């Protein structure tokens, strides 16, 4: 198991892509702490699934929109794991709205969850992570294919991509790699709840592989970036889209 003995923190790990990441890292041998916002049953089911596969995962309830809660999560994860080797910034908020309809509260919440909280998570990791660590942040293809209604989401993820590039420079001397992944259309409950069936069918036709992505498609790339084989890759944004953009 390539991640045996490694300690990992995944934000937003109870559903969708986050759940797949937690399960994959644990299957590869990592001890995983993951956060979730409010769904205790979903979090418990992830823990049970990981344990059934012989792995170890712990759920911590934390609102990514509350910076004090994020700091408490980081401290709790580091203490429980006895250190930190892997950080995955996955938790995100998407509240599509035309610019004209965006409120100050909307702006603050999306920017806090998608950019501010990951920034300070990266800062914490830089201070506490062991040498040869791995930081992976989940961005989005929408930073290069923006659409109406996505101003906050797209801008917040673009900020996260810049944090990734600069952190890679700053943490490189300690052999800590920092990378981002930009998924395309991934078949999750969130995708299906925010898009009509015809939009999903169109996304399949745009993909060179002719299908929507699955959460495991992203989790597998996270596992690669978190593992030893990616040791010379840093400061990159991998577009995992099935060829949606070539």
Average pLDDT over residues 104-123: 97
pLDDT at 172: 98
Residue 192: its pLDDT value, please? Answer: 85
Residue where the block lists tokens 């950019």: 115
Query: In the chain, what percentage of residues exceed pLDDT 90?
Result: 94
Contact criterion met (CB below 8 Å) for 34 and 11: yes
pLDDT of residue 38: 92
Pick the residue with more confidence: 169 or 147? 169
16-27 and 215-226 are packed helices; what angle lies between their axes, rounded to 10 degrees? 40
Q: How far apart are CA 218 and CA 96, in angstroms?
A: 23
In percent, the amount of the chain with pLDDT more than 70 equals 100
Q: What is the pLDDT of residue 241?
A: 96
Q: Any idea which residues carry the catalytic annotation? A: 153
Give the SS3 label for residue 175: coil
> Taking residues 68-77, what's their average pLDDT?
96
Contact residues for 34 (Cβ-Cβ < 8 A; gap 6+): 9, 10, 11, 12, 13, 14, 18, 22, 43, 46, 57, 58, 59, 60
Q: Is the pLDDT of residue 194 over 80?
A: no
Query: 8-57: per-residue pLDDT in tens?
Result: 999 999 999 999 999 999 999 999 999 999 999 999 999 999 999 999 99
| Predicted confidence (pLDDT) at residue 161 exceeds the cutoff of 80 | yes
Nearest Cα neighbor of 234 from 153, 152, 175 is 175
Confidence of residue 190 (pLDDT cuts 50, 70, 90): confident
Spell out the long-range contacts of 38-43 with Cβ–Cβ below 8 A and sequence spacing 24 or more.
39/14, 39/15, 42/14, 42/15, 43/13, 43/14
Which DSSP category does 130 fall into? P
Mean residue pLDDT of the chain comes to 96
For residues 240 and 182, the answer to whether their CB atoms sit within 8 Å is yes
pLDDT reading at 228 higher than 80: yes
Q: Of the candidates 43, 47, 45, which has an alpha carbon nearest to the alpha carbon of residue 61?
A: 43
pLDDT value for 95 = 85
Measured between alpha carbons, how far is residue 43 from residues 14, 18, 162 in Å? 5, 11, 30
Q: Which CATH superfamily is domain 7-240 in?
A: NAD(P)-binding Rossmann-like Domain (3.40.50.720)
Placement of tokens 């990734």 in the chain:
164
- Report the pLDDT value the prediction gives residue 193, as an integer from 0 to 100: 80
Q: How far apart are CA 33 and CA 8, in angstroms?
A: 6
What token pair was written down for 213? Answer: 């992505």
């Amino acid at each position: 198991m390539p991640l045996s003995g490694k300690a990992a923190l995944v934000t937003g790990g109870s559903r969708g892509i986050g759940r797949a990441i937690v399960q994959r890292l644990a299957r590869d041998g990592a001890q995983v702490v993951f956060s979730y916002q409010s769904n205790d049953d979903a979090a418990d089911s992830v823990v049970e699934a990981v344990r059934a596969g012989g792995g170890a995962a712990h759920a911590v309830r934390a609102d990514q929109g509350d910076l004090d809660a994020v700091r408490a999560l980081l401290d709790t994860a580091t203490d429980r794991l006895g250190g930190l080797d892997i950080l995955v910034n996955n938790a995100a908020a998407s509240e599509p709205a035309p610019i004209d309809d965006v409120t100050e509260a909307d702006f603050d919440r999306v920017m806090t969850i998608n950019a501010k909280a990951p920034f300070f998570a990266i800062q914490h990791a830089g201070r506490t992570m062991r040498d040869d660590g791995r930081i992976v942040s989940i961005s989005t293809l929408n930073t290069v294919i923006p659409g109406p209604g996505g101003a906050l989401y797209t801008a917040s993820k673009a900020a996260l991509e810049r944090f990734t590039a600069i952190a890679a420079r700053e943490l490189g001397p300690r052999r800590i790699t920092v990378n981002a992944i930009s998924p395309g259309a991934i078949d999750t409950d969130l995708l299906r709840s925010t898009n009509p069936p015809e939009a999903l069918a169109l996304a399949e036709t745009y993909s060179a592989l002719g299908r929507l992505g699955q959460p495991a498609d992203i989790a597998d790339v996270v596992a690669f970036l978190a593992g030893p084989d990616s040791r010379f890759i840093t400061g990159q944004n991998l577009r995992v889209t099935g060829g949606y953009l070539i």
